[in-house]
Structure 1
């Protein structure tokens, strides 16, 4: 018994456990909110902005009654049904009564003189807000937000959506909703088909597909189509057209490699837009009287979208620091890259190693359907951190002298693993895309520098493995994992004696198995089937690189004869001290 407060020890322990359980439930929530607070702010701001558009502008004869009767004529076919939002008694100016809920004009029927008079009376009356209709759209937007969260979750998207991607998508969603809502107020666009040319879906989906990838564009087309459905008074045709153009736009830009190709992609999208309109006209049994207006609008929309994408792309690439296909193509120009030219001059071994790794990574990514442009560029720059001390890396030691012979294993390990941190710092100063920087940081994961760890163990068996491990994290994308495997395979195979196809294949399999056993590939999403394809790709490239060559007649070894002993001595020096880790 505690004399101070009368609690027993068991009661105090029980209270502590209860408090711990409560904190254990709350703590994950707090951590989640801290990690995603910016996303919640973005979601709330977007929802508030779109809701404001719904309140002030969503007027299709149901939400806000403020008609311009001068735009209608007696006998004109109505594009929509207009329902009276309130009861209005007859006056001297308008000697006609309006009853709340009556259909003043019916869609598809001609406007009568009486209906036109009632519309003029409504037009001159104070604006009436139908909160129920607005509430329907706002509630639908909540469902769209939930759909957005699900589609862009790591489970479906395959990665954690970047904040900059979400910002761009929210801006494009707002603009699309805004244009759709206020364009519907004009008489010329009050038909489900006539509103189609106003929807900037091609512009939005082209930008998302080029900047963030085809999968993001596919998923975003669903979200954007749902938004158009809500903005268009729940008309199905505009939403289906948005979804169809979204899918086709994302697919069209999949293989373009030059910026000017965007113009040709927009022309192709124009042709597909024409097909979509005609197909939907047939499916929904709509009249073809306005087909010329709709098709001309669709073609103009697609072409202008292509021109706008061409103009907006470079500023957005720089502002968001994304790895778009065009920016990656620019970074692939090794001849005009100052850092790669410096690497060629000061660390030629590392430069050649990087070129070979890029070839391996690019071919392997093509085989498994990953982003081969990203893998190639990341491989070019993955070892730029070695520029600081190139002489400490094996591939740059051509004179037989090994710097590591004169320093301790721990110091050697510190120098070897520092090139990852220095590479990341250089990449940030160069403003390389974040995806490339991530691969530079992950290309060794947190694996152990086995050679120097073993040497240190011989001196002091109590040394920590952590001190000889790279400071990075294991790859979280397929491209990053492929670059890691390509880096390991290229470095290791150069030390392989008699590199026949079978020996290379077995050796690469051993290297891959070691990475799997070392838990380096657990978060990257690669399957065993894809690892098999990667291995086959590596074998094909490396076997071609290390294939045996026919000896020419009377060809002599320049080191034969008097220099033979010197050659053997030099070889012994090189093989005796080189550090096999290539970084």
Structure 2
């Protein structure tokens, strides 16, 4: 069995090193999401035929606008708007100006005619003396005048283009000559009377032909009653009256547009019944079915395109998060593979529960254990990805638990997001199985509160038995969701830890159990090393917590970091128990090899027992490539050509904060334990000296510790050591002897 596990592990490790492995994982994740939600967006295949009976009740799969009905209402609204007219007050003054202009032309023509006649007379030959004498005895001749034909021609010339075509019938040659022959005083009198009559007639609305005829008659009546006004002037004045209420196309169009805009779109809401089972499908119903998308479903790919776009958006957020993930311990591909597995399990569980959902049943989505996926992702990867995954799982759940293909169940989707996020926020770092169960109960409580809030938001009447029963069922499923999530998390977590070599807090707590076979081995075979390891664990844990590192990992790794000493216990001073030190009889080179081997031997023992990689690495790195000073100086006394490199640990150097802290704590604990009378000053000097020595030796060059953090670590070491080696009361000698 172990061989099969190792073989699978080797194949998996080899596959993870593939260059495009992450692309394959993202593709598989998208494919799984698309496959599980494909049926939830696929349009329902329904046989829809005109003039037939509906096989089943058909509801709208989504909200849409009934464009034909909306357009019909808009046309009706537009047609109902009457034409808009405007009264032009300037029309009356324009017509008065026109009649005044006509009379002005008459007077101007009269003056022009007299001037022409006078000039013509001046141009006639002078008279003789006899004629002049005879004329003295007679009356003076009348002033010269033009003939009627000449006056008529002159008047027509001046009036050309000045009078409307309607006036031309009234102004024949006789009337023109008549008007031309009127004296100026009469023309002024007629002009004033005509202007007054026109103003009075056009002071009211003139829109229809009836209104126009009535206004013109009023002009005739008023001028007739004025007396002595020629008929031609009365007729011209009545013709001068025109419509003053004019059709306003711009205003009409504006009113029509307002009426169109006021018409609300005819919308069919998602879930509305279009046709009931057995109902006759007439043309109107058939049109609505086509508008809803039931006409030609075989070629409709838009729902799948929409789903694909949503999946791409969700994957984009995951790609961004995984690009910045800390991969100090495990490779990014390991986290991706594990995420794929957790996410797929969660989606599959939701899909299985969705099969028990019908249109008229209670929301089965309330029992979906989405919090399980969120908790596993938080414990095995990190919080940020767990929060974003909670939102993504909620979106997926809104599709999986939808009631109509292609729609989104926002109620269940929101509920799932709240449930998953609550589990991430409540689950702390130091979790045990009991804490996971507590988180499940907390999630159950949040789920119930969410369900009640959603019911209250819908303003349902909760006084009826049916409503109360439904609320009770939903609340029970909400409680079950939290409990089931916790149980599944506890059940699945060990398989993921073993399969991917992940180190969760729960796994660390299990490894810290003193009954673990390797810890019992250390205790039984190297009791001094065991006590030393416990001391190092105390120092390391407090120092890690001071700088935000994983204190529990440092504690557990400290328990195992010197397990390599179990191969040769007596060669390490803490296990000699007053025995002769075997190194006194060995050359420095041999002693060096034995001491150095405990780091590599320990790492190998841990690997053979399938211990987590983090603990194996700390066991191999806790000495880095530090110098074995005692044996180096011992060898130097015998041979000056000895090189430091020959007496250094093989490494590697500490690659994490936890490994660096455990290594430093290991050296400090051994140094302080060797003191005869450890005082706070002595402890502080040793701590500062060892940290400074390791810093100058480059032992912290491959981890992310800062100078500020090293100072905090030193303070933590001093506080812990002073608590361990605190001063005791010195009893009197007599009491000691007794």
The Cα of 1:384 is off from its aligned counterpart by: 0.5
Deviations 1:81-113 (A, max 9, x none): 3799xxxxxxxxxxxxxxxxx999522645455
Q: How does 1:119-138 map to 2 (within 5 A)?
A: 128=298, 130-138=300-308
Q: Do residues 219 (structure 1) and 219 (structure 2) align?
A: no
The Cα of 1:50 is off from its aligned counterpart by: 2.8
| Among candidates 425, 428, 449, match of residue 254 of structure 1 | 428
**Contact (CA 8 Å) 1:66, 1:122: kept in 2 or not?**
no
**Contact (CA 8 Å) 1:412, 1:452: kept in 2 or not?**
yes
The Cα of 1:422 is off from its aligned counterpart by: 1.0
Q: How does 1:175-324 map to 2 (within 5 A)?
A: 175-178=345-348, 188=358, 194=363, 197=366, 199-210=368-379, 212=380, 216-226=382-392, 228-229=394-395, 232=399, 241-254=415-428, 257-276=431-450, 286=458, 292=471, 294-324=474-504
Worse-superposed segment, 478-487 or 517-526: 517-526
What RMSD in Å do the two structures reach over aligned CA positions? 4.2
Distance, in Å, in 2 between the alignment partners of 1:302 and 1:276 is 13
The Cα of 1:392 is off from its aligned counterpart by: 1.8
Q: Name the CA shift for 1:198/1:126 in 2 (closer, same or farther; >3 Å).
A: farther
Q: Which residue of 2 aligns with 1:44?
A: 27
Distance, in Å, in 2 between the alignment partners of 1:414 and 1:294 is 68
Q: Which residue of 1 aligns with 2:567?
A: 388
The Cα of 1:266 is off from its aligned counterpart by: 0.8
**Contact (CA 8 Å) 1:343, 1:351: kept in 2 or not?**
yes
Q: Do residues 374 (structure 1) and 553 (structure 2) align?
A: yes
Q: Which residue of 1 aligns with 2:694?
A: 515
Q: TM-score, normalised by structure 1?
A: 0.72
Q: Which residue of 2 aligns with 1:542?
A: 721
Q: Do residues 504 (structure 1) and 683 (structure 2) align?
A: yes
Worse-superposed segment, 433-442 or 419-428: 433-442
Deviations 1:198-237 (A, max 9, x none): 5532011222334x26xx1432330342354366367776
The Cα of 1:302 is off from its aligned counterpart by: 1.3
Q: TM-score, normalised by structure 2?
A: 0.58
Worse-superposed segment, 540-549 or 400-409: 400-409
Q: Name the CA shift for 1:397/1:203 in 2 (closer, same or farther; >3 Å).
A: same
Distance, in Å, in 1 between the alignment partners of 2:570 and 2:649 is 19
Distance, in Å, in 2 between the alignment partners of 1:506 and 1:471 is 28
Deviations 1:401-455 (A, max 9, x none): 3322333333222221211111111112222222222221221223333333344
**Contact (CA 8 Å) 1:443, 1:484: kept in 2 or not?**
yes
Distance, in Å, in 1 between the alignment partners of 2:360 and 2:712 is 54
Q: Which residue of 2 aligns with 1:168?
A: 338
**Contact (CA 8 Å) 1:410, 1:456: kept in 2 or not?**
yes
| Among candidates 601, 609, 614, match of residue 435 of structure 1 | 614
| Structure 2 portions without partners, runs of 5+ | 1-14, 49-53, 67-264, 400-406, 462-466
Distance, in Å, in 1 between the alignment partners of 2:329 and 2:321 is 11
**Contact (CA 8 Å) 1:205, 1:221: kept in 2 or not?**
yes
Q: Which residue of 1 aligns with 2:129?
A: none
Q: How does 1:325-404 map to 2 (within 5 A)?
A: 325-334=505-514, 336-399=515-578, 401-404=580-583
**Match of 1:499, SS?**
coil
Deviations 1:429-488 (A, max 9, x none): 222222222221221223333333344445445544443332332333332232222212
Q: Name the CA shift for 1:207/1:337 in 2 (closer, same or farther; >3 Å).
A: same
The structure with the larger Rg is 2
Distance, in Å, in 1 between the alignment partners of 2:27 and 2:692 is 47
**Contact (CA 8 Å) 1:68, 1:123: kept in 2 or not?**
no
**Contact (CA 8 Å) 2:329, 2:614: kept in 1 or not?**
no
Distance, in Å, in 2 between the alignment partners of 1:474 and 1:274 is 52
Q: Which residue of 1 aligns with 2:101?
A: none
| Structure 1 portions without partners, runs of 5+ | 1-31, 85-101, 559-583
**Contact (CA 8 Å) 1:445, 1:470: kept in 2 or not?**
yes
Q: Which residue of 2 aligns with 1:152?
A: 322
Distance, in Å, in 2 between the alignment partners of 1:444 and 1:469 is 9
Q: Name the CA shift for 1:243/1:346 in 2 (closer, same or farther; >3 Å).
A: same
Worse-superposed segment, 168-177 or 179-188: 179-188
Distance, in Å, in 2 between the alignment partners of 1:42 and 1:351 is 44
**Contact (CA 8 Å) 1:375, 1:480: kept in 2 or not?**
yes
Distance, in Å, in 2 between the alignment partners of 1:166 and 1:103 is 48
Q: Name the CA shift for 1:229/1:544 in 2 (closer, same or farther; >3 Å).
A: same
Q: Name the CA shift for 1:521/1:317 in 2 (closer, same or farther; >3 Å).
A: same
Q: Which residue of 1 aligns with 2:269?
A: 106
The Cα of 1:251 is off from its aligned counterpart by: 3.4
Q: Name the CA shift for 1:184/1:288 in 2 (closer, same or farther; >3 Å).
A: farther
**Contact (CA 8 Å) 1:39, 1:163: kept in 2 or not?**
yes
**Contact (CA 8 Å) 2:563, 2:602: kept in 1 or not?**
yes
| Bigger relative contact order (CA 8 A; separation at least 6) | 2
Q: Name the CA shift for 1:395/1:182 in 2 (closer, same or farther; >3 Å).
A: closer
Worse-superposed segment, 537-546 or 102-111: 102-111
Deviations 1:499-539 (A, max 9, x none): 21122123212222223333333443334443333322221
Deviations 1:171-213 (A, max 9, x none): 232344456578778875799x957525532011222334x26
**Contact (CA 8 Å) 1:370, 1:479: kept in 2 or not?**
yes
The alignment covers a number of residue pairs equal to: 498
Distance, in Å, in 2 between the alignment partners of 1:422 and 1:515 is 23
**Match of 1:141, SS?**
helix
Distance, in Å, in 1 between the alignment partners of 2:599 and 2:480 is 49
Distance, in Å, in 1 between the alignment partners of 2:438 and 2:62 is 37
Distance, in Å, in 2 between the alignment partners of 1:278 and 1:52 is 33
Distance, in Å, in 1 between the alignment partners of 2:593 and 2:26 is 44
Deviations 1:371-408 (A, max 9, x none): 33222211111100011112222222333633223333
Distance, in Å, in 2 between the alignment partners of 1:149 and 1:124 is 37
